[in-house]
Amino acid sequence: MIPQSSESWPDQSGFWHGKRVVVTGGSGFLGSIVVERLRAHGAAQIVVPRSREYNLVDGTAADRLIADARPHIILHLAARVGGIGANREHPADFFYENLMMGTQLMHEAWRAGVEKFVTIGTVCSYPKFTPVPFKEEDLWNGYPEETNAPYGIAKKMLLVQGQAYRQQYGFNAIYLIPVNLYGPGDNFDPSSSHVIPALIRKCIEAREAGASEMIAWGDGSPTREFVYAEDTAEGIVLAAERYNGSEPVNLGSSYEISIRDLTEMIARLTGFQGTITWDTSKPNGQPRRKLDVSRARDWFGFVATTRFEDGLRKTIDWYEQARHTLP
């Protein structure tokens, strides 16, 4: 049953009491924040598997993890991710590793009688020309944007798996689709970072070098919606508590901005005063991204609260302080 209003949500103040929770990817950017939110909601028994101990691409590791942790709930956040450049260079790795991690873990979770499995999908699964705002029912109306299609399709297969296991076995698997994340602790490695950390790093390095020019990819015309990672983590925890349906659910902020305006905003906030030059030989990626987030609001009460520029300032401040200790 899908809750349709706050009046129908049960009191979940004790939901996590006595429950053992596995958070794959729980030491990563979003995962570490999810772990904090779980603790704030009352979860005391949280297991964060490390890849050196449990390489989930290997099915035997998924079986061993579940046998060792004996979880009631699994939040599957582990993923091989990256920006356009990384997706173009490693499409096979992104497809294989994301598919194998998720599908084997979900299968072993069902076999072991795990109560609930929460899959974190990706906005990259949506068709390239999805009408804006993206509605969950449009997920299958076309092929994803080519530069990240292998990754997006691999993650979308976990939606199919969860729905099939629910239909045949009654397995409680839910599927959430966060839009582009950002926030303190993000990945700032230029070989694999997404657009916000990549631009922050570029602008700060150009500022410090006294450069008169900074090169940005594409032509700046695509638009993106971004959601602050702490907001997303709260949405994931609320869904784990309140949502038990088969349909995918978007998690976003409803704030859409063009890459050109985003780049100019980051340049202003970082103090880079040079010229921004657009390298149109580089790909733009998907033309627009903006989600319909009404399901998350109506079905489990999630609304993002962080104003975009405020979140951006916090992210820049964090990087300014941490960058000398980062790779």
Q: Which amino acid is at 151?
A: Y
Residue 85 reports pLDDT greater than 80: no
Name the residue range of residue 38's domain.
Answer: 6-186+227-256+290-307
Q: What is the pLDDT of residue 56?
A: 96
**What's residue 10's pLDDT?**
61
For 210, the token pair is: 């006294």
Compute φ and ψ for 105, nearest 5 degrees. -65, -45
CA neighbor of 2 nearest in space, from 176, 225, 219, 243: 243
- Average per-residue pLDDT in the chain? 93
One-letter amino acid for residue 222 of the chain: P
pLDDT surpasses 90 at 181: yes
Give 312's pLDDT tier (boundaries 50, 70, 90).
very high
Q: Are strands 256-258 and 223-228 parallel, antiparallel or unpaired?
A: antiparallel
Token pair in block for residue 273 = 């005063």
User: What are the strands, taking DSSP E only, across 8-86?
Assistant: 20-24, 45-47, 73-76
Structural domain includes residue 199: no
**Is 300 within a domain?**
yes
Number of domain units in the chain? 1
pTM of the complete model: 0.92
Instruction: Report the Cα 136 to chain-centroid distance in Å.
Output: 16
Helix (H, G, I), strand (E, B) or coil at 51: coil
Would you say residue 316 lies in a domain?
A: no
The answer, yes or no, to whether residue 106 has pLDDT greater than 70, is: yes
- Spatial contact of 83 and 60, defined as CB atoms under 8 Å apart: no
Place of tokens 């994803």: 144
Is 168 inside any structural domain? yes
Question: What is the pLDDT confidence band of residue 4, given thresholds at 50, 70 and 90?
Answer: very low
Q: Which amino acid is at 159?
A: L
Segment 231-239 mean pLDDT: 98
Q: How far is CA 285 from CA 58, 144, 203, 204, 223, in A?
A: 31, 10, 21, 24, 10
Could you report the per-residue pLDDT of 259-281, keeping only the tens digit for each? 999 999 999 999 999 999 999 99
Q: 108 and 69 in contact (C-beta within 8 Å)?
A: no
* Assigned domain for 196 exists: no
255 is an active site residue: no
Active-site position among 151, 175, 182, 319: 151
**Cα→Cα distances 194→1, 19, 35, 93, 270, Å:** 36, 34, 22, 18, 17
Q: How far is CA 167 from CA 1, 119, 161, 171, in A?
A: 14, 17, 10, 8
Question: CB under 8 Å to 186, separation ≥6 — which residues?
Answer: 29, 193, 194, 196, 197, 229, 315
The residues facing 276 across adjacent strands are 214
Domain membership flag for residue 208: no
CATH code of 140's domain: 3.40.50.720
* Residue 182 clears pLDDT 50, i.e. is over it: yes
47 near 71, Cβ under 8 Å? yes
36 found inside a domain: yes
Predicted confidence (pLDDT) at residue 3 exceeds the cutoff of 50: no
Task: In whole angstroms, give the CA distance from residue 190 to residue 198.
Answer: 6
User: Considering the domain boundaries, does residue 301 fall inside one?
Assistant: yes
CB of 151 within 8 A of CB of 306? no
